[in-house]
Amino acid sequence: MFGQMEFTIRGTPIRITRGTVILIVACLALISYGGYDYVQQSEAVDDAVKVEATVEEASVSQSESRGGSNYYVQVEFTYQFQGTDYTGDQLFPGSISESYDTRSDARSAIEPYEAGETVTAYVDPANPSDGFLERQTITSPFEFVALGGFVLLVTALNAVGARKPGSETELHAEQEYASTQYQTLFGVSRDTVHSFSTRLLKVTILILPASMVGVAVLLLLSGAGSSDPVHLQVELSDPIGVLLGIALLAAVTLVVSVLLYSIWSFTEYRRLRDRIPEPRPPSPFAHPTRLVTILIGNHELDTYGQRVQKTGVAVLVGVFFLGVLAQILVF
């Protein structure tokens, strides 16, 4: 039975395991599914003809996940095409449903479709049973393409290159070869930056969720958690406003602390590289295959490998939180 296969291409080692094959097949399936659905959407929109439809039911459903809640709409309608009666339930064409971040956004999407209303629907003559109400494509299929593409990229990078980078790395003794690089950061002792960033990180990790829990409790007490829409006007002096301000400040501080730690950790990595005898191995930050293997590999890492891993994780976390913060403040 296939266990693993190792070979080289132009001197570059490549290892393919059973898990690698399974992941590649799954990723290609995700990419194909998302791409196929978007093509089907586009063809349905291009070829669609108008028909008169009657809305039977319109509702919003909630799906809970670890990352939060998503909302989906259900619209059932009946229509006739070329003498045959059909029942449809698609707001947009395609088999992948659009999700909404809030219940109000979902309700806005189905606002024109009250039960009993006569509306315009669209039908692709090639598939008359798959009628839909909005003649436009959605980007949801690209989420499958992006997820499959990302995992495929990581899997490919992990399969290529050295098998155990970051392990058994020879280092000169610190007493014999102490690096003179980055002894200060921003004009401050590097040890001070490290201590400050880690303490700040611990504090914000406690404050941010506590403040958000407080906001959720106050919203529930005010009735905003009910199924009926409640419009609240919140000022900074209100308890909810104060907690939201604290949460925002904690989020910004969290990003700053992670970025500070990332800078310190990267300079610590550079100082460790100075202690590696020549010829030194390629830098993982210049060779993604080595970096990915260190980040997700299951081999034991030495001091140098652990520093590379911590630096990579810190940078990824910092970029993630920076993106979330930008999404909240800008977009």
**325 and 205, same structural domain?**
yes
From 95, 119, 134, the end of a domain falls on 134
**Is 320 part of a structural domain of the chain?**
yes
**90 and 126, same structural domain?**
yes
Note down the domain range covering 310.
Answer: 182-226+233-329
* pLDDT score at 3: 63
* pLDDT score at 67: 62
* pLDDT score at 66: 65
99: its two tokens:
């999700």
**Is 271 part of a structural domain of the chain?**
yes
**117 and 74, same structural domain?**
yes
Nearest residue to 110 via CA among 58, 182, 172, 163: 58
Count up the domains in the chain and report the number: 3
* pLDDT score at 235: 72
**144 and 68, same structural domain?**
no
State yes or no: cis peptide before 93, omega within 30 of 0: no
Which residues 6+ apart lie within 8 Å of 232 measured at CB?
219, 222, 224, 240
| Claim: this prediction has a pTM higher than 0.85 | no
**32 and 122, same structural domain?**
no
Which long-range contacts link 207-215 to residues 24+ away (Cβ below 8 Å)?
A: 207/246, 207/250, 208/247, 208/250, 208/251, 208/254, 211/243, 211/244, 211/246, 211/247, 211/250, 212/243, 212/247, 214/243, 215/240, 215/243, 215/244, 215/247
* pLDDT score at 121: 96
**187 and 55, same structural domain?**
no
**Is 312 part of a structural domain of the chain?**
yes
**84 and 143, same structural domain?**
no
**190 and 130, same structural domain?**
no
92: its two tokens:
């947009």
**Is 171 part of a structural domain of the chain?**
no
Nearest residue to 270 via CA among 204, 158, 213, 185: 185
Mean pLDDT, consecutive 10-residue segments, the chain of 331 residues? 72 84 95 95 94 95 77 94 94 91 90 94 93 93 94 90 85 80 92 96 94 87 58 72 90 93 96 92 91 87 94 93 79 55
**240 and 114, same structural domain?**
no
205: its two tokens:
């990790």
H helices of the chain, in order, are: 18-47, 103-110, 140-159, 190-222, 239-274, 288-296, 303-329
**200 and 276, same structural domain?**
yes
Which residues 6+ apart lie within 8 Å of 82 measured at CB?
128
* pLDDT score at 111: 92
**Is 106 part of a structural domain of the chain?**
yes
Contact call for residues 174 and 253 (beta carbons, < 8 A): no
**Is 173 part of a structural domain of the chain?**
no
**117 and 86, same structural domain?**
yes
Radius of gyration, alpha carbons of the chain? 27
39: its two tokens:
């093509």
**57 and 38, same structural domain?**
no
* pLDDT score at 188: 94
* pLDDT score at 239: 84
